[in-house]
Amino acid sequence: MSYGTLQLNAQITEPKDTVVNLDSEKHMHQKHKENHLKFRFDYDLGSVLNNAFLRKFLYGGTIDQKLIDENYDRLQHGPNHIGNTMDFAIQYRRFTGEFLGMHNVGFSTAIEWHLHHDFDFTDDGYSLIMNGNKSFAGKTADLSNTKYNFLQYSQIKLGLFKENEEKHSEYGFQLALNIGNQFEEFAAPHAQLYTDSLGEFVELEGEFEYLESGYIGKNSGLIQGIGAGLDLFYEIEKEHKYKFVFEVANIGFIYWNDNSLEYEAEEHYVFEGIVIDNLFDMPEQLYSTTVNDSLHDYIIANGHRGSHATLTPIELDIWYEHYLTEKISAKARFRHKIFGLYSPYYQLGGTYHISDKYHIGVDANYGGYSKLNFGVSLCMEINDNFVVDIRTRYLMGFLGHKFSGIGGFAQINYKF
């Protein structure tokens, strides 16, 4: 009986590379000599804003003033995050034993699809959007360091791993062909909006940078960029004693085609209303497009098309699990997403090993796209071939009005 794919901790930081998600109560050599076909779906939504707000903002409903004010109080007077990621992976992992003269090696191959959204905003930005600009009459709203990233890409991965039976360790790598589907980036390193005390004008000034792939839309299968990536991992384990994992995934880039749009400018724009030359000769319509359309048209008109390279968010994951007793283990984790709008993430948790087939866990975590949160996990072996791992990362987000985040992880591991 093996629990080769079991993750016992409920957390946001589920390793993306299932090669390192190998946890076992059996010996390492035994574990790796099995072949695995894994399906994994991972969804995260986290923010400083609470779930009651996010639920209505993203899935519909009226956001009342109480909820707006309540969330304003949650802001952290610095970059406030909203992150939303979705990952899907199918991996095949085979232990071959010998390969090119090396011993105790195996290979893995995977197809992965990633959707990455994150947004940084200021307290003033939140207030401006949710309360309107009237509260800023005669004042300046600070919008500096507002950022937005959207990236959707696919990967085809191929890698090797090697096991050291004496040290109970394993290390390996995967190379990835990155297939860029679409991306969009916005950044305002410095920006502010002044509203005249009588509302006679609003004044926007700042530095703005914008990048987008040639196409952004529903056709998520369109290939608009090509790149490469690298995953590395190392783990060491002593059965029922401890386990240490170091993983860095998706070190890479995507080179987008020459239809990509780039815009970078310092703007100083004073809006005094739509100027009508003659009041007695009004235009047919004061406006005919949405602000979003007009802004995008402006960017297209003032930007330039050309190839552009972007870095993929690198996922760094380091964790250590220590068995306090044969049934209970404790775990500490550090995680970070470099090149994403993500704060360092810390997690502490425990797992109760009910039996060889059932494990339940709880954890407390802080950081990432969210603040303090809790999660639970359940891992069970259905038969000798299937292991199912399900967890909520943000248990309190589901249950408590004041918490943030909606996240889930499901993995089915078929061993043969």
Residues of this chain that bind another protein (CB under 8 A): 56-65, 68, 129-135, 137, 195, 198-202, 271-286, 380, 382-383, 388, 390, 406, 408, 410
In the complex with another protein, the residue whose CB is nearer, 25 or 203, is 203
DSSP string, 290-349: -HHHHHHHHHHHHSEE--EEEEPPEEEEEEEEEESSSSEEEEEEEEEEETSS-EEEEEEE
Least spacing, CB of residue 407 vs another protein, in Å: 10
In the complex with another protein, the residue whose CB is nearer, 100 or 198, is 198
Least spacing, CB of residue 204 vs another protein, in Å: 12
Phi and psi at 132, nearest 5°, equal 90, 175
DSSP string, 135-166: GGBTSEEE-TTEEEEEEEEEEEEEEEEEEETT
Let me know if 29 is exposed, middle or buried by CB neighbors in 10 A (0-12, 13-18, 19+): middle
* First CA to last CA distance, the chain: 12
Least spacing, CB of residue 84 vs another protein, in Å: 12
In the complex with another protein, the residue whose CB is nearer, 67 or 248, is 67
In the complex with another protein, the residue whose CB is nearer, 189 or 273, is 273
User: Which residues lie closer than 8 Å to 290 by C-beta, 6 or more apart?
Assistant: none
How many C-beta atoms surround the C-beta of residue 286 within 10 A?
9
In the complex with another protein, the residue whose CB is nearer, 65 or 325, is 65
Least spacing, CB of residue 393 vs another protein, in Å: 12
Question: Residue 248 pairs with which residues in a beta bridge?
Answer: 232, 316
**Structure token pair of residue 262:** 């780039």
In the complex with another protein, the residue whose CB is nearer, 273 or 344, is 273
Q: b/e map of 44-65 (b: 16 or more CB within 10 Å)?
A: bbbbbbbbbbbbebeeeeeeee
Amino acid code (one letter) for 40: R
Least spacing, CB of residue 272 vs another protein, in Å: 5
Least spacing, CB of residue 198 vs another protein, in Å: 7
Least spacing, CB of residue 70 vs another protein, in Å: 13
CA separation (Å) from 304 to 213, 265, 337? 12, 12, 30
In the complex with another protein, the residue whose CB is nearer, 57 or 352, is 57
Least spacing, CB of residue 169 vs another protein, in Å: 33
Least spacing, CB of residue 136 vs another protein, in Å: 8
Cα 299 to chain centroid, rounded: 27
**Structure token pair of residue 230:** 């690298």
Q: Is 78 helix (H, G, I), strand (E, B) or coil?
A: coil
CA angle 29, 10, 247 (to 5 degrees): 50
**Residue of 212, 209, 61 whose CA lies nearest to 147:** 209
Phi and psi at 45, nearest 5°, equal -140, 120
Least spacing, CB of residue 30 vs another protein, in Å: 25
In the complex with another protein, the residue whose CB is nearer, 152 or 195, is 195
In the complex with another protein, the residue whose CB is nearer, 165 or 356, is 356
In the complex with another protein, the residue whose CB is nearer, 132 or 189, is 132
